[in-house]
Amino acid sequence: MTSYRTSEVFVPGGMPLLTYVSRTGRNLEERLRAAEDNLCKLVTVTGATKSGKTVLVNQVFPRDKCIWVDGGAVDQEEDFWNYILDEIGGYTEDVNQEGRGNSTTLKGELSGEARIPFIAKSTGKGAIEYERSSTKGTSKKLQLTARAAAISQLRYIKLPLIIDDFHYLDRNFQGNIIRAIKPLIFEGLPVILIAIPHRRYDAVRVEREMTGRLESIPIPTWEIKELEEIANQGFPLLNLRVEPNVISGLANEAYGSPHLMQEFCKDLAKAHNVAKTLDTVKSINEVSLELFRGVAEGTGKVVFDKLARGPRQRTDRMQRRLKTGETADIYRVTLYALARLAPGLDTITYEQLRSAIRDVLADSLPQAHEVSRVLEKMAVIAADDEASTPVLDWEKEEQKLHITDPFFAFYLKWGACQ
């Protein structure tokens, strides 16, 4: 039997080669692969955070055979084009010498440590360098902008372009980038955007520029059986026989996130001291609740604490008595009420939240406008967080709170009040 390390089998946050689940019947790979067949459309892959969007695209368009741009690494539009040039070993200068013979030199001047502060000493993919000599003639030099050079060379090399976390790019130049690569898309170059469909991001601008040329591939929420398949594929590779009820319990706590499911499986093996494939079969028929509490500590605690602190202010906030005997300000009280609801990736009405606050507090209820103001501030803090999408969103007009991040939802249940 082939031996595998547990870290090879279960890969939370990475590319799970051994436990990749194709989600048969949804045709996600087939629809994405159509981009290679002269689709001539901009492909957008959208779905909730931690839903497996990047893993899916990487399965069909491996990083070593494409140009991948991570939106989180790009601050300015010029950085975007320079990043592409560095990936392909590109150039911005074309020198042509004519006479009895001619000389043409194409150099990867932007690769390495020049002009790209966030990439050092990299030669890129297949640096282009071609030279012919002549004895005499007239020299002509063409200097291109990074944008013009990148577009020209993308047209020449025809490598698929993947932009991960497209929503991370500044809204001011999202449209500029789409307009620039539109001719390449019309010529059949596969271009895939990976993003989160959230109202905070200006997807409308992209669609307006690509009217009739947009192929949208939404990633549906993972079902329990699909999450269970991760465990069913992985545990036998480690010679572990895990009872179906244990696997089902893990899948039910994952809130539709394959990332969390991978984490659970890896930690379950670790809890039983399984670092690699065992020589003999070992059975596991239960899971400790400490596993979930341990995972929770490493997921949503940072953003929970940030929301609990609230915005900076000069005076201390009023402390309110809780039924536990402790005291907390209105921000922490609101989060404790959310934790009591343990909502998952659900929409919570204001009345549901207010009822939960009543269950938490020993004091009288805060005024409605106080709670609404706190939720507004929390939504702003969440939107300013470094994560790729806010963990919650408050619709003031509809009086509805949306929990959008499975890690945060998981922490509310297993870490917030433990």
Predicted confidence (pLDDT) per residue in 317-354, tens digit: 889 999 999 999 999 999 999 999 887 777 899 999 99
- Mean pLDDT, range 149-155, rounded to an integer: 90
- Residue scoring higher pLDDT (1 or 152): 152
What is the C-alpha separation between 44 and 281, in angstroms, rounded?
Answer: 44
Q: What is the dihedral of CA 303, 309, 310, 311, to 10 degrees?
A: -110
Q: What is the pLDDT of residues 280-327, one digit of tens each?
A: 999 999 999 999 999 998 888 888 999 999 887 656 788 999 999 999
- Mean pLDDT, range 129-138, rounded to an integer: 44
Confidence of residue 272 (pLDDT cuts 50, 70, 90): very high
- Mean pLDDT, range 96-113, rounded to an integer: 43
What is the C-alpha separation between 390 and 299, in angstroms, rounded?
Answer: 14
Q: What is the dihedral of CA 76, 80, 83, 85, to 10 degrees?
A: -120
Residue 270 has a pLDDT of 96
Confidence of residue 376 (pLDDT cuts 50, 70, 90): very high
Domain map (residue ranges) of the chain: 28-66+160-218, 78-146, 222-287, 301-414
Beta bridge partner(s), residue 44: 193, 216
Sequence-distant (6+) residues with CB within 8 A of 97 are 103, 104, 134, 137, 138, 139, 140
**Residue 130 clears pLDDT 70, i.e. is over it:** no
Q: What is the pLDDT of residues 379-405, one digit of tens each?
A: 888 877 665 567 888 888 889 998 888
**Residue 100 clears pLDDT 50, i.e. is over it:** no
Angle subtended at Cα 349 by Cα 332 and Cα 296, rounded to the nearest 5 degrees: 45
Beta-sheet pairing, 392-395 with 400-403: antiparallel
SS (H, E, C) the chain: CCCCEHHHHCCCCCCCCCCCCCCCCCCHHHHHHHHHCCCCCEEEEECCCCCCHHHHHHHHCCHHHCEEEEHHHCCCHHHHHHHHHHHHCCCCEEEEEEECCEEEEECCCCCCCCCCCCCCCCCCCCCCCCCCCCCCEEEEEEECCHHHHHHHHHHHHCCCEEEECHHHCCHHHHHHHHHHHHHHHHCCCCEEEEECCCCCCCHHHHHHHCCCCEEEEECCCCCHHHHHHHHHHHHHHHCEEECHHHHHHHHHCCCCCHHHHHHHHHHHHHHCCCCECCCCCEEECCCCHHHHHHHHHCCCHHHHHHHHHCCCCCCCCCCEEECCCCEECHHHHHHHHHHHHCCCCCEEEHHHHHHHHHHHECCCCCCHHHHHHHHHHHHHHHHHCCCCCCCEEEECCCCEEEECCHHHHHHHHHCCCC
Fold of 222-287: Helicase, Ruva Protein; domain 3 (1.10.8)
- Mean pLDDT, range 252-262, rounded to an integer: 94
Q: How far apart are the first and last CA of the chain?
A: 42
What is this structure's pTM?
A: 0.79
- Residue scoring higher pLDDT (71 or 18): 18
- Residue scoring higher pLDDT (269 or 387): 269
Q: What is the pLDDT of residues 169-225, one digit of tens each?
A: 887 788 889 889 999 999 999 999 998 765 444 445 666 767 778 888 999 989 999
CATH 1.10.3470 applies to domain 28-66+160-218: no
**Residue 108 clears pLDDT 50, i.e. is over it:** no
Beta bridge partner(s), residue 276: 5
Nearest to 262 by CA among 4, 78, 17: 17
Mean of pLDDT over the chain: 83
Domains 28-66+160-218 and 222-287 share a fold: no
